[in-house]
Amino acid sequence: MGDFDHLLTSPEYAQNPYPVYRQLREQAPVYWSDLWGCWILTRYDDITASLQDYQHFTSLGRLTATMDLPEPLWEQVQPLIRHYSQGLINVDPPAHTRMRQLVHQAFTPRTIRKMAGYVETIVDSLIRDVIDQGQMDIIWDFSYPLPVRVIAELMGIPLEDHERFKAWSGKIVEFMATPKPQPEVLLGSQAALMELQQYFRDIFRQRRASPQDDLISALVAVEAEGDRLTEEELVSTCVTILIGGHETTTNLIASGMLALIQHPGEMQRLRESPELAPSAVEEFLRYEGPFQRNRRIATEDVILGDQYIRKGQLVMQMLGAANRDPSHFPDPDRLDITREPNKHLAFGYGPHFCLGASLARLEAPIAIQSLMKHLSDIQLATADVVWINTVFRGLKSLPVTFIRKVSP
């Protein structure tokens, strides 16, 4: 087995992880990384097996339990550890099943569908703001403000707070970039998390006193057979929805547009057949998924592939690698907006399949269709694009030039 640790920290990996994923799949598909202190999985079948098998691969403590911290620091970051030791994405069935059923009563398909008109209005407004300029940054002018406004409307939180959301979200996820975060990163993530927690607790009090027609009011009120979400479960759920709801969709729209720019033939297909937008979005999710990796902890000694994984060891499921596995996706490095079947893992798999998948699948096709409808000759305005490649994979910016399309 070769040593791939140096590749996992290379600038080349940060910009384009897929060659490294390919090497790992072919030479060490279940690879122990001394650098990260975990097993790295890159095959589709191994990843789906471990995502589905919560009895052997648990979500409990998956983000914090394996951190090797000195005692004083361990005590100092207990608020962070407590938060990520509970909540919808950090527990297994049956606790997870109970919570998901309660949350689903508020986060229903009908709730998502009724957002379609609002999404279209925001998209049209954002394009109107830049269409006469002939240039824009797709991220900062379009793909970031769109999901932030949608989440604010859905949850019933003031849009003017969106810059605070962005700052909190970005800071919180910093500690997830590696299983061995630095102390200052942990403390920074915890500080941002505690501010966001207090923000939501204040809103919960307001909604209990004066309910509104929004997701937070529904979550506060939801009850089934005498059961309801606890305060901590409410906080955890809202933090998850806020971070997942805008980080992933921002990156999905931007990386999808970059993929189209780099594959003009596929862009032309989409222009000629705008009804392919939902299929195109599924391919963007596979080709350049915004959520690149997930974690589980082995609950007992288990053999996966040809490796012996010990109880308590961390397993890193590289979703981006699974989505380029040639055993499931023929010619996986080719962008094909009509790919079928396309059972990618961008939203996970099994009991923890992403609760917000339907919202991303609503927003992204509307956004992509509108950009195709109103803008032509979309070109990169820079010779280089810079990726951020951690738990989330996205672009720092995406400046483009374009020509306003004249309606026939």
Report the CATH number at residue 36. Answer: 1.10.630.10
H-run or E-run covering 57: strand 57-58
What is residue 204's three-state secondary structure?
helix
Asked, as a colleague might, if the bond just before 290 is cis with ω within 30 of 0, I would say: no
| Chain Cα centroid distance, residue 76 | 28
Tell me, what's the pLDDT at 176?
84
Whole domain around residue 115: which residue ranges?
5-404
Tell me, what's the pLDDT at 166?
81
- Smallest CA-to-CA distance from 248 within 154, 347, 176, 341 is with 347
Tell me, what's the pLDDT at 225?
66
Q: Which pair of tokens denotes residue 249?
A: 């969709």
- Smallest CA-to-CA distance from 117 within 144, 143, 150, 148 is with 150
Angle among Cα 378, 383, 384 to the nearest 5 degrees reads 105
Pairing relationship of beta strands 38-41 and 30-33 according to DSSP bridges: antiparallel
Answer for the pair 387, 365: CB distance below 8 angstroms, yes or no. Answer: no
Angle among Cα 222, 225, 230 to the nearest 5 degrees reads 45
Tell me, what's the pLDDT at 404?
93
H-run or E-run covering 260: helix 231-262
Three-state secondary structure along 314-352? Answer: EEEEEHHHHCCCCCCCCCCCCCCCCCCCCCCCCCCCHHH
DSSP secondary structure of 85-137: TSSGGG--TTHHHHHHHHHHHHS-HHHHHTTHHHHHHHHHHHHHHHTTTTEEE
What is residue 401's three-state secondary structure?
strand
- Smallest CA-to-CA distance from 319 within 393, 372, 246 is with 393
Residues of the chain with pLDDT under 70: 1-2, 223-225, 407-408
Angle among Cα 398, 344, 179 to the nearest 5 degrees reads 70
**How many domains is the chain built from?**
1
DSSP 8-state symbol, 205 = H
